[in-house]
């Protein structure tokens, strides 16, 4: 379908032009860099404030204003407007009253056409139908599922309410609406972050059907594609780590072992002051060895010993180990355990390292003390473990890069700990997610598949291939 662009403006609340397309420049005979106001007659100027107030309430509205055109004559024009509350900007599609005759005809036929919307229920993807002024007329069952809203709650509302569920960047809606109204088609990529473990990614595409005078919007689920893309990017980062670790590990570990040996010999004949300095040296050598071990974790292929584990018992052992250090920092660790035993298949040592790493991170974020809450829940198929702190929290940029190797916000951190955590969880066929709010705290969510009674009865200790070594 071919169409010409409609005159489209982006305005602020007092009617100042912020941007416009070529059709609007031609209609009003303005320079492309013009930033000013449309010339209205006195009655239209008085009506503008009332119109904007209604627009802020409904998010879309339509009104007629008397506007000065390129011929310096005033002409009655229809403003079909959408309001973006995030940017406080108005996207306005302009048309003369003569061009609105088709719209009036459409309104009179709205009931007849709406009866045919049930046909969209049989399509295998999400479809939403809005009228030319931006009022939602219908949506199918897939759209209800993606938007997490019942049809009755969305009908006859402004088109922008489609985006209520999703996480959007500032100005994204304004840009989308401007393109839709000017070029008759637009698309936007959004994220649904209401499920912490598995955020969903969608592409929303809209097109204006001039023949039927409606806006057709289709939602395409891109979650699987995005997850695969993230896994590839994460694996590429790990490959870089592996190549680097393989080239330097041998060169570092040999002199490191010698230094540790000579340090122990010097301690035998050292006085009190020398012993203090040697202890500092020994501590730093141990830290260097830990960094090297983390590099090797992410680089050297090995096999993981898998055995039947009672997860509740492992978590209790880790908490008992971490509790003394936590109490010294005025931190309590509260554990809410399930009422039944929870069995999974895995490697006990690696899981303990994961849990200790996450609790240690939680403690380091709580400079003023507080409570770390560890809670385990389970159903017939999935065990979920949550580790929640009352620390400083993280911003969105940190959350996006959290599991990338070498990414850290700590002055003395290596950025390898959470990359290791993620890989171990995936080795156990689990998933990990995180939610956080600045100055309120962070919560890590871990999920593992539960072994059924039949699996427990028949399970033997086995060896599972792994691309990562725990040292």
Give pLDDT tens digits along the chain (471 positions). 334 578 899 999 988 999 998 888 888 888 877 878 888 888 788 889 889 998 998 898 888 888 887 778 888 888 989 999 989 999 999 887 654 444 454 444 445 555 555 667 777 788 998 888 888 888 888 888 888 888 888 888 888 888 888 888 888 888 888 888 888 889 998 888 776 667 888 999 999 888 778 899 999 888 888 877 777 776 666 666 666 665 666 667 777 878 888 888 888 888 888 888 888 888 778 777 766 766 665 555 556 677 889 999 999 999 998 898 899 999 999 999 998 889 998 888 889 889 998 999 999 999 889 999 999 999 888 999 999 999 999 888 888 888 877 767 776 666 677 888 888 898 888 999 999 989 899 999 999 998 765 554 444 445 554 433 322
What is the dihedral sign for C-alpha 121, 125, 129, 132? negative
Same domain, 351 and 410: yes
**How far is it, in rounded angstroms, from Cα 298 to Cα 427?**
12
Burial level of 36, CB count in 10 A (0-12/13-18/19+)? exposed
Report long-range pairs for 278-285 (Cβ below 8 Å, ≥24 apart): 285/256, 285/259, 285/260
Is residue 162 in a domain? yes
pLDDT at 191: 86
Cβ atoms 143, 219 nearer than 8 A: yes
Q: Which helix (H) or strand (E) holds 433?
A: strand 431-437
Structure tokens at 109: 């036929």
Report long-range pairs for 230-233 (Cβ below 8 Å, ≥24 apart): none
Residue where one domain finishes, among candidates 202, 221, 240: 221
Same domain, 73 and 38: yes
The enclosing domain of 455 has a CATH number of 3.30.565.10
**Packing angle between helix 417-427 and helix 348-364, nearest 10 degrees?**
140
Is residue 26 in a domain? yes
**Packing angle between helix 223-268 and helix 272-297, nearest 10 degrees?**
150
Same domain, 230 and 216: no
Q: How far are the Cα atoms of 49, 58, 68, 82 from residue 44, in angstroms, in the given order?
A: 9, 20, 11, 18
Same domain, 15 and 148: yes
Q: How many domains does the chain have?
A: 3
Same domain, 208 and 234: no
Phi, psi of 418 (to 5 degrees): -75, -25
Same domain, 114 and 76: yes
Same domain, 128 and 211: yes
Shortest CA distance to 48 belongs to which of 67, 69, 65?
65
Cβ atoms 384, 447 nearer than 8 A: yes
**How far is it, in rounded angstroms, from Cα 438 to Cα 73?**
55
For 42-168, where are the alpha helices, taking DSSP H only? 42-58, 101-108, 110-114, 141-147, 151-154
Is residue 371 in a domain? yes
Residue 405: helix, strand or coil by DSSP? coil
Q: Which helix (H) or strand (E) holds 258?
A: helix 223-268
Same domain, 259 and 309: no
**How far is it, in rounded angstroms, from Cα 223 to Cα 408?**
27
Q: How far are the Cα atoms of 16, 30, 62, 299, 457 from residue 20, in angstroms, in the given order?
A: 11, 10, 18, 54, 70
**Which structural domain range is residue 251 located in?**
226-297
The CA dihedral of 413, 419, 421, 424, to the nearest 10 degrees, is -150
pTM: 0.49
Same domain, 15 and 131: yes
Using left for φ > 0, alpha for ψ between -120 and 50, and beta otherwise, residue 125 falls in beta
**How far is it, in rounded angstroms, from Cα 161 to Cα 165?**
8
**How far is it, in rounded angstroms, from Cα 1 to Cα 23?**
19
Residue where one domain finishes, among candidates 247, 282, 297: 297
Same domain, 155 and 207: yes
Same domain, 280 and 347: no
Cβ atoms 215, 268 nearer than 8 A: no
The gap from C-alpha 268 to its chain's centroid, in whole angstroms, comes to 56
Measured distance between the N- and C-terminal CA atoms of the chain, rounded to whole angstroms: 63
**How far is it, in rounded angstroms, from Cα 338 to Cα 358?**
20
Sheet containing 462-466: order of strands: 343-346, 302-310, 462-466
> Which residues touch 134 (CB under 8 Å, ≥6 apart)?
60, 80, 82, 158, 159, 160, 215
Same domain, 271 and 311: no
**How far is it, in rounded angstroms, from Cα 350 to Cα 249?**
21
Residue where one domain finishes, among candidates 193, 221, 249: 221
pLDDT at 146: 87
**How far is it, in rounded angstroms, from Cα 252 to Cα 465?**
27
């Amino acid at each position: 379908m071919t169409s010409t662009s409609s005159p489209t403006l982006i305005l602020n609340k007092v009617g100042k032009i912020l941007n416009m397309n070529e059709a609007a420049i031609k209609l009003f005979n303005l320079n492309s860099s013009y930033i000013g106001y449309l010339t209205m007659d006195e009655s239209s100027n008085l009506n503008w404030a009332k119109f904007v107030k209604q627009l802020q309430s409904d998010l879309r509205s339509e009104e007629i204003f008397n506007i000065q055109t390129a011929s310096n004559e005033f002409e009655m024009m229809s403003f079909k407007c959408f309001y973006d509350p995030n940017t406080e900007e108005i996207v306005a599609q302009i048309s003369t009253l003569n061009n609105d005759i088709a719209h009036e005809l459409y309104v009179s036929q709205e009931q007849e056409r709406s009866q045919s919307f049930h046909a969209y229920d049989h399509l295998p993807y999400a479809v939403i139908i809005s009228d030319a002024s931006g009022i939602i007329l219908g949506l199918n069952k897939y759209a209800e599922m993606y938007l997490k809203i019942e049809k009755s709650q969305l009908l006859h509302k402004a088109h922008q309410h489609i985006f209520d569920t999703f996480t959007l960047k500032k100005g994204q809606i304004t840009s989308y609406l401007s393109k839709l109204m000017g070029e008759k088609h637009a698309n936007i990529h959004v994220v649904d972050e209401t499920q912490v473990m598995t955020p969903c990614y969608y592409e929303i595409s809209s097109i204006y059907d001039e023949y039927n005078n409606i806006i057709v919007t289709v939602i395409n689920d891109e979650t699987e594609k995005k997850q695969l893309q993230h896994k590839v990017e994460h694996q590429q980062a790990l490959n870089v780590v592996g190549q680097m670790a393989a080239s330097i590990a041998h060169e570092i570990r040999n002199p490191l072992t010698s230094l540790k040996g000579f340090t122990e010999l010097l301690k035998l004949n050292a006085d009190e002051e020398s012993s203090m300095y040697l202890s500092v040296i020994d501590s730093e050598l141990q830290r260097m060895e830990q960094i090297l071990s983390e590099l090797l974790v992410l680089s050297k292929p090995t096999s993981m010993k898998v055995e039947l584990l009672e997860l509740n018992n492992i978590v209790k052992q880790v908490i008992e180990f971490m509790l003394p250090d936590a109490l010294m920092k005025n931190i309590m660790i509260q554990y809410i355990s399930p009422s039944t035993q929870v069995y999974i298949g895995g490697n006990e040592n690696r899981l303990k390292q994961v849990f200790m790493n996450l609790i240690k991170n939680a403690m380091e974020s709580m400079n003023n003390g507080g409570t770390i809450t560890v809670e385990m829940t389970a159903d017939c198929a999935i065990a979920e473990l949550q580790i929640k702190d009352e620390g400083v929290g993280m911003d969105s940029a940190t959350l996006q890069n959290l599991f990338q190797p070498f990414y850290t916000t700590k002055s003395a951190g290596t950025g390898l700990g959470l990359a290791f955590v993620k890989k171990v969880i995936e080795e156990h066929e689990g998933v990990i997610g995180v939610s956080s709010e600045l100055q309120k705290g962070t919560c890590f969510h871990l999920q593992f598949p539960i072994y059924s009674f039949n699996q427990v009865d028949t399970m033997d200790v086995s060896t599972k291939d792994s691309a990562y070594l725990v040292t």
